[in-house]
Amino acid sequence: MREHTGSNAGLAERGALNVPIEIEIRGRWDALRLAEVLIPYHSYLVHHEGQRWVVHARAPGCHGESLDDALRMIEDWLVERELGSSWCRVRGRPYRLGVRERT
């Protein structure tokens, strides 16, 4: 399951409108793959330097997908790719994505 730190409390509430999400990913190809997964959330990529990329997305998604759904999708993708944990920001605030075992 997802582990929330104290700073995550209240960030992923349901029904939130137009919530920006930013996920830092090392490596162009992994960033591109995550952006493709998050297409329903209006995703795009920004290259900062070297291998540092940020995937930007917004909730709700194109068909009303929630912020919780987006965060779960990101975590599932990290587990599937065996990338471990990653940091992201939700509404500009730090949000630590949980580390789960692959099932």
pTM score: 0.75
**Which CATH number does the domain housing residue 56 bear?**
3.30.70.1710
**pLDDT the model gives residue 52:** 87
What is the pLDDT, as a whole number, of residue 18?
A: 86
Q: How many CB atoms lie within 10 A of CB 29?
A: 10
Cα–Cα dist 102/1, whole Å:
11
Whole-angstrom Cα distance, residue 2 to residue 46?
A: 26
Q: Taking each helix axis from N to C terminus, what angle separates 28-37 and 67-81, rounded to the nearest 10 degrees? A: 140
Per the domain annotation, does 61 fall within a domain? yes
- In terms of residue numbers, what domain contains 87? 16-96
69 located within any domain: yes
pLDDT digits over 44-102, tens only?
Answer: 999 988 888 999 999 998 888 899 999 999 999 888 888 766 778 999 999 887 655 54
11 domain residue, yes or no: no
Number of domain units in the chain: 1
